[in-house]
Amino acid sequence: MSVAPKENRTSAGVLIMGLAILLFTGIDTSAKWLTIAGLPVIQIVFMRYLGHFLYANLIYLPQEGLSAFRSHAPRRQLLRSTFLFGSTIFNFLGLKYLPITVTTTIGFAQPIVITLLAIPILGETVGLRRIIAVCVGFTGVLVVAQPWGAEFHPAMLFNLCALVIASLYFIMTRMLAGIESNATQQLWASGLASVVLAPFALNVWVWPDSGLEWLVLVIIGGFGATGHIAATTAHRYADASILAPMIYTQIFMAAAVGIVVFNTWPTVYTLGGGAIIIASGLYIWQRERQIKAR
């Protein structure tokens, strides 16, 4: 199975990563819009992965044939795929009740959780300064969630579950780096989710009422497939250490979508907590760069 070589095209990589983040915002926007329209969450998750699977087949099968499905680590690939669609279910459940800026901001704590999980799972060593940064980052999550105040919504627990499960997905992705091709990972992740979720989605299926609902239901899978492919291409053009902070641009995209599409404005707690999480995440990113440079 051929693997495309890395290229030194940093500017192109940054731009493509920006496109990937825009497409990921499109997934969340579509999911929230469809839940407001009354479609069941499981149906939306199923269509998100079914569309992703069909797009991935169209892209990879003509190039690599059925060998693209062959995994060198099927058990780990199965676990990784389960984590991915599990996190999507919890994220979409949160989106049903919460502003998109809140769910996005909670998701920014992902590098913090990955740092913690990498200690027992990957055996990575984390210094005191990064541990302090992790604690500061969780303070930002508390500011956003406000478990002590009236702004707290129980649906935030869905997003906290999504945060932990998505972090486990990225831990598994690290473990499979250099073992599995991008084609195999895309096909397994979307294919497994489609097969597992199909009976549950069909059991609660609600037919869309309009052509626009059908369009959004179909296009959400396209956002998923092209977003992940764009992110993978970006990492082939530029170092991960350069691309990592790009994820924080999503807060501006989510805020714009919230205002324009859903008529919701980010609160001072969301913005303040987001700033704390971003500062913590950037510090962890910088420390990792320093350690790798030694």
Q: Over the stretch 129-143, which tens digit does the pLDDT of each residue have?
A: 777 877 888 788 888
Length of the chain: 294
Cα 110 from Cα 165, distance rounded (Å)? 10
**pLDDT tens-digit map of 276-290:** 888 887 887 777 677
Q: Look over the chain and give the mean of its residue pLDDT values, rounded to a whole number.
A: 86
% of the chain with per-residue pLDDT over 70 = 92
Q: Name the pLDDT band for 149 (thresholds 50, 70, 90).
A: low
Q: How confident is the model at residue 3 (pLDDT cuts 50, 70, 90)?
A: low
293: confidence class by pLDDT, cuts 50, 70, 90: low
pTM over 0.85? The answer is no
What is the model's pLDDT at position 240?
64
Q: What is the pLDDT of residue 241?
A: 60
pLDDT, residue 159, reads 93
Report, as an integer, the average pLDDT of 138-151: 75
> pLDDT tens, 68-127?
899 888 999 999 999 999 999 999 999 999 999 899 888 888 878 887 888 888 787 777
Q: What is the pLDDT of residue 269?
A: 84
Which residues, in sequence order, are CB contacts of 48 under 8 Å at separation 6+? Answer: 27, 31, 88, 220, 221, 223, 224
- Three-state DSSP at 40 gives coil
How many H helices and E strands in the chain? Answer: 12, 0
Q: Which of 220, 237, 243 is nearest to 21 (CA)?
A: 243
Nearest to 198 by CA among 49, 71, 33: 49
Dist. CA 102–CA 204, nearest whole Å: 28
Average pLDDT over residues 12-39: 93
